[in-house]
């Protein structure tokens, strides 16, 4: 049986084995998918050992996404731009390919599952770390009128935006600022939290004016219920709230399709994993 796994540290709470096992059952694919915790200083040897045991591919999660790019022989353009990979495929010729499905997973969840047409919309992306960088290019490709990246430390937002402009991406519509400048930014149709604040149940200093009437507030974390960010959004008047479970399942479906050549349906799996936002 073909073997796949997710590698991270820690890995105990990963939902990926459950998701891929459901996908395999639904599509009739014979494979196993397990979770592997690599030592913090031992990503490459852990991947090497899994390949030696016949592994065909892995998903990669925190904190190894950057190292996954460096490990691969061939890196997709979007993984290169993201500066990170979340999926590796081990080809029969011995080469390792890397890709990143986080951003396309987010965009697919927003457009297909939540019914948001991002074209000509004002989109606010909170955070300028790895999670934000990982989704920036697919968000730009979805055609928003404005994609505003706001971060606690403004310097990081400016540096991220400048790096994308230097790549010839988002020269017209991509702006960066500190969170403190959002009071002058007006209202946004979609507000996405890509900071690590929700992991620590911390609120962000956000003016309520960022949420347009009818706005969607999206927190990229999942399984945390109504995070401080989503509570702020509700108080600020956002019409709809979503956590990142749809993004998680959509990126998994893209990884699965990349490895197996068949894209599983996602709606039932998202429904099974969804926890109430209370
Ligand atoms: P990740 O890979 O999850 O993006 P990261 O690269 O360490 O992790 O980035 C963490 C992001 O969350 C950063 O944008 C960080 O803001 P700073 O660059 O100013 O540090 C943001 N972040 C974390 N905790 C936060 C908090 N309590 N309030 C606001 N932003 C926070």
Distance 90 CA to ligand 1 centre (A): 32
Does ipTM surpass 0.90 in this model? yes
> Domain coordinates of the chain in residue numbers?
2-100+246-273, 103-243
Distance 152 CA to ligand 1 centre (A): 7
Q: Ligand 1: which of 8, 150, 152 to mutate, judged by most atoms within 8 Å of the beta carbon?
A: 152
Assigned CATH topology for domain 2-100+246-273: Rossmann fold (3.40.50)
Tell me which residue has its CA closest to atom 12 in ligand 1: 195
pLDDT score for 121 = 97
Q: Which residues carry out catalysis?
A: 65
Q: Is the CB of 83 inside a 6 Å radius of any atom of ligand 1? A: no
List Cα–Cα distances, 243 to 52, 197, 230, 240, in angstroms: 37, 14, 8, 10
* H-type alpha helices, the chain: 16-27, 43-52, 65-71, 77-82, 102-108, 130-141, 154-166, 228-236, 245-260, 267-273
**Residue 278: pLDDT above 90?**
no
Q: From the annotation, which residues make up the binding site for shikimate?
A: 14-16, 61, 86, 102, 222, 251
The residue-averaged pLDDT of 160-182 equals: 97
Q: Mind listing the pLDDT tens digit for each residue in 104-122?
A: 999 999 999 999 999 999 9
Q: Mind listing the pLDDT tens digit for each residue in 210-228?
A: 999 999 999 999 999 999 9
Classify the phi-psi angles of 197: left when phi > 0, otherwise alpha if psi is within -120 to 50, otherwise beta. Answer: alpha
**Residue 98: pLDDT above 90?**
yes
Atom number, ligand 1, closest to the C-alpha of residue 63: 2
Separation of alpha carbons 147 and 241, rounded Å: 19
**The domain 103-243 belongs to what CATH superfamily?**
NAD(P)-binding Rossmann-like Domain (3.40.50.720)
Q: Mind listing the pLDDT tens digit for each residue in 117-140?
A: 999 999 999 999 999 999 999 999
pTM, entire model: 0.97
Q: Is the CB of 197 inside a 6 Å radius of any atom of ligand 1? A: yes
Q: Ligand 1: which of 180, 195, 229, 232 to mutate, judged by most atoms within 8 Å of the beta carbon?
A: 195
């Amino acid at each position: 049986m073909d073997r796949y796994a997710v590698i991270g540290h820690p890995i105990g709470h990963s939902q990926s084995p459950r998701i891929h096992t459901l996908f395999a059952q639904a599509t009739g694919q014979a494979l196993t998918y397990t979770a592997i915790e690599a030592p913090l200083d031992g990503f490459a040897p852990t991947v090497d050992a899994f390949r030696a045991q016949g592994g065909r591919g892995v998903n990669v999660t925190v904190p190894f996404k950057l190292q996954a790019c460096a490990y691969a022989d061939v890196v997709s353009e979007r993984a290169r731009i993201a500066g990170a990979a979340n999926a590796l495929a081990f080809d029969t010729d011995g080469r390792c390919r890397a890709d990143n499905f986080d951003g396309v997973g987010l965009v697919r969840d927003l457009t297909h599952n939540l019914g948001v047409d991002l074209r000509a919309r004002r989109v606010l992306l909170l955070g300028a770390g790895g999670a934000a960088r990982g989704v920036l290019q697919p968000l730009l490709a979805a055609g928003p009128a404005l994609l505003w990246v706001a971060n606690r430390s403004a310097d990081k937002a400016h540096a991220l935006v400048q790096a994308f402009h230097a790549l010839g991406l988002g020269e017209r519509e991509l702006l960066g600022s500190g969170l403190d400048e959002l009071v002058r930014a007006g209202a946004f149709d979609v507000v996405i939290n890509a900071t690590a604040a929700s992991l620590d149940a911390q609120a962000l200093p956000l003016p309520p004016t960022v949420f347009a009437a009818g706005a969607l507030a999206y927190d990229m974390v999942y399984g945390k219920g109504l995070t401080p960010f989503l509570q702020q959004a509700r108080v600020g008047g956002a019409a709809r709230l979503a956590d990142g479970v749809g993004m998680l399942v959509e990126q998994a479906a893209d990884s699965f399709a990349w490895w197996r050549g068949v894209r599983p349906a996602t709606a039932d799996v998202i429904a099974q994993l969804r926890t109430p936002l209370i």
